[in-house]
Amino acid sequence: MNRNDIEPRIRESFDRQRLLQTLGARLGRVADGEVEILLAASPQISQQHGFVHAGALAAIADSACGYACLTRMPEDSGVLSVEFKINMLAPALGREFIAKARVIRAGRTISVATADVHAIDDAGASKCVALMQATMMRVEDSPTIRA
């Protein structure tokens, strides 16, 4: 797929993801088979110990995996999450979080992607705090399911 085509389509789709706006996430780099989503730490997304909630990290990693798969699908495609699995590797502490997803296999119906979530601290140091392995399904673009 033409990269000139896919990036605006993903940015337009991202802007419709209201949860990601609610969390304070923004779309980063979009490349062939790779998508990054950033999330600024804030008290609004914490769990009971003050770390960022696993659900917030899962949300950005899941969306990054979906879009990474979408970059390898035909133009008339929408993407749905079939399932994902995420390991929490370290307490989610930091100034900002980056979910970096990449496609592992792009199939006709089923695609698989992985995502690392890195925490960036105030000094700019990066640490991997979560790891996702996700299964995505291509659906034909329709009035209900777009991109």
Residues within the interface to a copy of itself (CB under 8 A): 13-14, 16-20, 22-23, 43-50, 52-56, 58-60, 62-63, 78, 80-90, 104-105, 109-110, 112, 114, 128, 131, 133, 135, 137, 144-147
List of residues 6+ apart from 127 with CB closer than 8 A: 90, 94, 118, 119, 121
Of the pair 5, 42, the CB lying nearest a copy of itself is at: 42
Of the pair 26, 146, the CB lying nearest a copy of itself is at: 146
Gap between the terminal Cα atoms of the chain = 13
* Cβ 39 to a copy of itself shortest distance, Å: 11
Of the pair 45, 73, the CB lying nearest a copy of itself is at: 45
* Cβ 16 to a copy of itself shortest distance, Å: 4
User: Token pair for residue 26?
Assistant: 């923004």
**Integer Cα distance of 136 and 92 in angstroms:** 25
Q: At what angle do helices 54-70 and 3-15 cross, to 10 degrees?
A: 150
* Cβ 147 to a copy of itself shortest distance, Å: 7
Residue 79 has phi, psi (to 5 degrees) of -130, 135
Of the pair 5, 15, the CB lying nearest a copy of itself is at: 15
* Cβ 23 to a copy of itself shortest distance, Å: 8
* Cβ 103 to a copy of itself shortest distance, Å: 11
Of the pair 1, 137, the CB lying nearest a copy of itself is at: 137
**Integer Cα distance of 118 and 45 in angstroms:** 16
Is the separation of the CB atoms in 69 and 103 below 8 Å?
yes
